[in-house]
Structure 1
């Protein structure tokens, strides 16, 4: 299945996965950009950076086979293999970033929070519609991960 066919499948889990990849880029960039504040925003910047790496391992299953990680971390990441669990983790990460508005209202971490919420909505829609979770083969889905083993 090509990338265009994946998007035409109208499976919201594919949309959620690609929005998650966008969230990785946003969280990493905005986490670094806001870490230079001399305020409580630094805490939320660090949390944004950490969430970018968590999302990276959730969305690109190939990395669990390539990168040396602990068994506990692997078990934590493997919890998020269903649409509802992914919607839950994205909602939690989004709420954490929305809480950054308590410290300073005008930081760019709001953009990360909005995109994390969009990814949560995509995964929740996939769960509500009863769509099976599908990993994108471009990001190391079932076919690619099995070839490496």
Structure 2
């Protein structure tokens, strides 16, 4: 299945996964950009944003678990997020953490909070419509992950 066919499938988990990839890029960029501020609380939220990007990259790109040396505890933690509902909950928690960053004042971290919330909504919609989680083959879904083994 090509990328265009994946998007035409109307499976919200595909939309959630690609929004998650966008969240990885945003969390990395905004975390780095905001870490150089003088506000100590904003630095904490910047680090949390960077950690979020690290966790999301392993959740959304499953073949990385096979090629990167990680601990068995970390692998077990990441494998919990295989259903739409668990991913929706995870993105909602990560979004809430970034929304709380408003306590330190308005910053560009709010963009990460919005996109994390959008990803959570996509996964929740997939769960509500009882759509099975389908990983994008481009990101290491069924096809690519099996080729590596």
TM-score (norm. length: structure 1): 0.99
Number of aligned residues: 148
Determine helix, strand or coil for the equivalent of 2:59.
helix
CA distance in 1, matches of 2:107, 2:13: 29
Gap regions ≥5 residues in structure 2? none
TM-fit CA distance, 1:133: 0.1
- Aligned equivalent of 1:64: 65
Quote the RMSD (CA, aligned, Å): 0.4
Matches of 1:144 and 1:21, distance apart in 2: 17
- 2:146, 2:53 → 1: CA distance? 25
Aligned to 1:136: 136
Runs of 4+ aligned structure 1 residues displaced above 4 Å come to none
The structural deviation recorded for 1:143 is 1.2
SS, match of residue 6 in structure 2: helix
The answer to whether 1:24 aligns with 2:9 is no
1:70-119 per-residue CA deviation (whole Å, 9 max, x = no partner) reads: 00000000000000000000000000000000111x20000000000000
Structure 1 portions without partners, runs of 5+: none
Q: Provide the C-alpha distance between the structure 1 equivalents of 2:68 and 2:142, rounded to a whole number of angstroms.
A: 17
User: Alpha-carbon deviation of 1:65?
Assistant: 0.3
Q: Which residue of 1 aligns with 2:110?
A: 110
Aligned equivalents of 1:29 and 1:88: distance in 2?
Answer: 23
Question: How big is each residue's C-alpha offset from its partner over 1:119-139, in whole Å with a ceiling of 9 and x where there is no partner?
Answer: 000000000000000000000
Displacement of 1:17 after TM fit? Answer: 0.1
1:81 aligns with 2:79: no
Partner Cα distance (2:78, 2:22) in 1 = 19
Give the Cα–Cα distance (whole angstroms) in 2 for the partners of residues 2 and 78 of structure 1. Answer: 26
1:125 paired residue number: 125
The normalised TM-score by structure 2 is 0.99
